[in-house]
Amino acid sequence: MSFRGFLANLTLQIFKPMKNLFAVFFFTLFSISAFSKDGYELWLDYPRIESSALKTEVETLFSGIYFFGQEPTQEVIRKELQIAGNKMLGKDPVFTQERLDRTRLWLGTREELAQVLGLETQMKIRNLGPEGYWRGSIDFQGKSYYAIIGNQPVGILYGVFDWLKSIQTETFDPKSEKSDAPKVKLRMLNHWDNLDRTVERGYAGFSIWDWHKLPGYIDPRYIDYARANASLGINAVSLTNVNANARILTTDFMKKAKVLADLFRPYGIKVFLTARFSAPMEIGGLKTADPLDPDVIAFWKKKTEEMYSFIPDFGGFLVKANSEGQPGPHEYGRNHAEGANMLADALAPYGGIVIWRAFVYSHEIDEDRHKQANLEFEPLDGKFRDNVIIQVKNGAIDFMPREPFHPLFGAVKNTNLGMEFQITQEYLGQATQLVYLAPMWEETLRSKTYRPTPSSMVAGIIDGSDSGQKLTLMAGVSNIGTDRNWTGHLFGQANWYAFGRQAWNPYLNSEEIAQEWIKMTFGQNPEVLSKTKEIMLESREAAVNYMNPLGLHHIMGRSHHYGPAPWVEGGRADWTSLYYHRADSLGIGFDRTATGSNALGQYAHEISQVWSDPNQIPEKHLLWFHHLPWDFELKSGNTLWEGIGLHYDQGVKTAREMKSQWDSLQGQIDPERFSHVSQLLAIQVQEAEWWRNACLLYFQTFAKRPFPTEIEQPQGDLEYFKSLDFPFAPGIRPRW
């Protein structure tokens, strides 16, 4: 083109609409390095306060903070206020030395501030326990002050985070008071992180623990990790994979773990490690790991002693034993209680605990995997030490998109039970899908167990209110990795967030949690709030629909668990899809009633009675417990075959709606995060279609019936779907 020819339309050319995807990247992602919103800040971005009334209020409080405590936790509170003040207001908070004149905000423990508190307030605060906080206004000598008070420094920390949240979400009301305390004692992340930095079922890069450079090098990320957890009240973390490596218990690695424990302590976070049951043989030079062997007992005592010499407040051991090939007490003819109690005795003098996983199933036992935990643990009820807690997955199989609650909840009376949720989305879209998990957890927590009391529900077992247990635990398998935004998918952050909130209070509503998270993550824009909330709240049911509707389960890809593979067969039976869906020419589903495995018999009578009837059981659990004919009539009047098709199709449609909802927010969300989510939602739609097409085409080979006419007809070649193979999918043992 000629020199002159360009002149007229130069501007047009520069700003001409993008023609293809490629151009989109250049315009949305290009300046990422300059002013990026890459998600690293999580929900702690502390944006500038826009509301001028709120700003004045907050500025006043930040301009005179009376806070004299010097404990490490109090230092980190100061630092957090410094970060928040600078980001929200553009200035440092002013910490004053004088209590009255220039002071607007008081921070301190109940004891530190006793002189200004009335007896009634003091008592109210005292009842909140070691981690609770109270915040509200206090009148003293004719003036009004705002105060955030805990019984311990960590209570102040939690109160300050809650207060900062109220500012970020523009709900701060200086006139009203608030007090809160966690309902669960141990609110814990379980990292399935290996010592070589791979992460089992990790979809957000690799382990943030850089063991090789520890103890000499401290990644600043460790501190931001602690801040994020503390902001939610998470107070415990197990650093290493439950498929454990004994080397974590060697002196070299203890020194490394000590550095992390030292960093986390001011944030109220205790460190746990996973103990490989065979460690006495692997690093102790013994010939046995028999828990009753005196040398083995001595080994663990000595190890524990050494551990506490490095980490005086070490939390204890998390143990996966006699499950999926992990060593355990059964090798020596001992039971779980004998194994767990031996470790518990070593830890007891230091106040440590044993977290023993109930996810046990054995290759040798020819029994529905669903039943094995109850078969092994019910007979041991009352046999575990007080400092042992049994960590039970939410369901009896393995973190499926929908599982009925685990029948161990309510089945034992004198055993501490903790909850294990999976935050990392092993079976829920891994890191390419937006699936907000809080509604799923809420569903479990609110499930009625009818035991120990007729009104009992899972949450009441977990928090001790129904079960009476004092040691309480909610654990979440971490979705955190080295990805810049921590969780791979930006919305994975919402799951970390929601887990923390529900662990603090298992009765919280997942919609309210979503709302909080959205405001803290994207700000106050009402359209962003409403649309994003809708996307989040429909996302889990969408995933159930396009993956595992009507109680189907465990039909994903072998080993990596990525994508659909209902055709998986061969090898260990209860690792195949065929074992779980049992489709044949007559019908589909796993009969777990009395005519089948009778796993249903492990639940309370109130449940097993109703659920045994395919016409009474909630349809969401139908094929989990029943093998039914393809023409079984659903409540809708459709046949089972039609219903399956409709659910899969609905899942795809919802995924598409989620994508178009999000895309309608373009321009209202910063381009980096907008593009990140938009690209991933496009992948999610493809994956939803893949699930629907592959599963329906496969099940049709049994049902031999046409697809319902009202659904988009599944396309693709079943043989092609079967041929797909993902040796480099994330979260599995890496290969060259």
Residue appearing with tokens 């974590």: 248
Question: How many helices and strands in the chain, by DSSP H and E?
Answer: 23, 16
Query: At closest approach, how far in Å is the CB of 433 from a copy of itself?
Result: 12
Rounded CA separation 172/541 (Å): 33
Which residues, numbered 711-730, are part of the site for a copy of itself (CB under 8 A)?
Answer: 726-730
Q: Does 672 bind a copy of itself (CB under 8 A)?
A: yes
**Active site residue: 324, 331, 378, 657, which one?**
324
Q: Tell me the per-residue interface mask from 37 to 56 with a copy of itself, x by CB under 8 A, - otherwise.
A: -x-xx--x------------
Cβ atoms of 406 and 418 closer than 8 Å: no
- Locate 570 and state its tokens: 């061969």
Pick from 107, 167, 195, 646 the residue near a copy of itself by CB under 8 A: 195
Cβ atoms of 65 and 54 closer than 8 Å: no
**Active site residue: 193, 426, 672, 689, which one?**
426
Q: Does 241 bind a copy of itself (CB under 8 A)?
A: yes
**Which C-beta is closer to a copy of itself: that of 221 or that of 620?**
221
Pick from 91, 102, 413, 733 the residue near a copy of itself by CB under 8 A: 733
The residues pairing with 639 across neighbouring beta strands, listed in sequence order, are 633
Q: Any catalytic annotation for residue 426?
A: yes
Query: At closest approach, how far in Å is the CB of 528 from a copy of itself?
Result: 21
Which residues, numbered 15-34, are part of the site for a copy of itself (CB under 8 A)?
Answer: 15, 18, 21-22, 25-26, 29-34
**Neighbour count for residue 550 (Cβ, 10 Å):** 24
Query: At closest approach, how far in Å is the CB of 13 from a copy of itself?
Result: 5
Q: Any catalytic annotation for residue 398?
A: yes
Rounded CA separation 181/233 (Å): 10
**Which C-beta is closer to a copy of itself: that of 253 or that of 707?**
253
Q: Any catalytic annotation for residue 111?
A: no
Q: Does 578 bind a copy of itself (CB under 8 A)?
A: no
Please give the torsion angle defined by the CA atoms of residues 84, 89, 90 and 93, in that order, rounded to the nearest 10 degrees: -60
Rounded CA separation 618/579 (Å): 22
Rounded CA separation 625/404 (Å): 10
- Locate 41 and state its tokens: 């800040």
Residue appearing with tokens 């006699």: 322
Query: At closest approach, how far in Å is the CB of 429 from a copy of itself?
Result: 12
Q: Does 141 bind a copy of itself (CB under 8 A)?
A: no
Q: In 113-236, which ranges are continuous DSSP H helix?
A: 119-126, 153-168, 220-232
Which residues, numbered 73-102, are part of the site for a copy of itself (CB under 8 A)?
Answer: 75-76, 78-79, 82-83, 86-87, 95, 97-99
**Active site residue: 398, 511, 633, 657, which one?**
398
Rounded CA separation 46/274 (Å): 35
Rounded CA separation 339/322 (Å): 10
Pick from 178, 247, 301, 620 the residue near a copy of itself by CB under 8 A: 247
Which residues, numbered 468-487, are part of the site for a copy of itself (CB under 8 A)?
Answer: 482, 484
Pick from 49, 61, 431, 528 the residue near a copy of itself by CB under 8 A: 431
Q: Does 559 bind a copy of itself (CB under 8 A)?
A: no
Pick from 55, 59, 63, 68 the residue near a copy of itself by CB under 8 A: 68
Count residues binding a copy of itself (CB under 8 A): 89
**Which C-beta is closer to a copy of itself: that of 383 or that of 558?**
558
Cβ atoms of 469 and 416 closer than 8 Å: yes
Query: At closest approach, how far in Å is the CB of 61 from a copy of itself?
Result: 18
Cβ atoms of 592 and 624 closer than 8 Å: yes
Residue appearing with tokens 């106050």: 524
Which residues are the active-site residues? 324, 398, 426
